[in-house]
Amino acid sequence: MQDSFAITFRFAELDEIEAVRVIEYEAAQRFATIGMTGIADAQPMKADFVRRKIEASEIIVAVNDAARCVAFVMFAPLSTRFYIEELDVLTAWAGRRIGAELIEQVDWLARKAGAQQLVLSTFRDVPWNAPYYRRLGFSVIETAQLDAKLRAIRAAHVDRGLDESKRVFMRREVAAARA
């Protein structure tokens, strides 16, 4: 059981590079429980990559009241949408809607930037992937509807060894500006 339940959200800071990498690695271990050991065995993101994303203000962290990072979302602004690259929550903190709130943080940034959609790519049948995002209002983008940018992202996934036959792209309209 965790001592601290209050969560705040903010952009990641440079001294949190390793925390982001640890969260990613720990969250990936969950895939071993469903036989996806390739993901569980993968190395975490390279520190230089995480540094660049932090410097670009493209990682938001969830921090408990003990000042410990317990989750993060990494995203990339595209011309009319924000692409959610990764969302990870430490297993001990799962089930508290932290991931959902991180998505809302990106939604707010996208709305502020004038973007119209959030998009992501995820595993179709993994319970904490596509089914989870459906509950958050995302819907599947049919393969024939993928534009050049999303096809390039798919090609990069294949180059990294991901089985794209088990994955889907999903989208959600950015929330209307709140009054």
Structure tokens at 95: 């089930």
Q: What does pLDDT average to over the chain?
A: 88
Domains of the chain with CATH codes: 7-173 (3.40.630.30)
Per-residue pLDDT, 40: 62
* % of residues, the chain, pLDDT over 90: 58
This prediction has a pTM of 0.89
The pLDDT-based confidence of 176 (bands split at 50, 70, 90) is: low
Place of tokens 């089985």: 163
- CA 12 to CA 14: how far, in whole Å? 7
Per-residue pLDDT, 135: 93
Per-residue pLDDT, 2: 44
Summarised one tens digit per residue, pLDDT across range 16-41 is 999 999 999 988 888 777 767 667 66
Strand order in the sheet with 167-173: 7-11, 59-64, 69-77, 81-89, 117-123, 167-173, 139-141
- CA 9 to CA 64: how far, in whole Å? 9
- CA 161 to CA 38: how far, in whole Å? 9
The pLDDT-based confidence of 121 (bands split at 50, 70, 90) is: very high
Summarised one tens digit per residue, pLDDT across range 123-152 is 888 888 888 999 999 999 998 898 889 888
Contact 70, 64 (CB under 8 A): yes
Per-residue pLDDT, 166: 83
Per-residue pLDDT, 37: 67
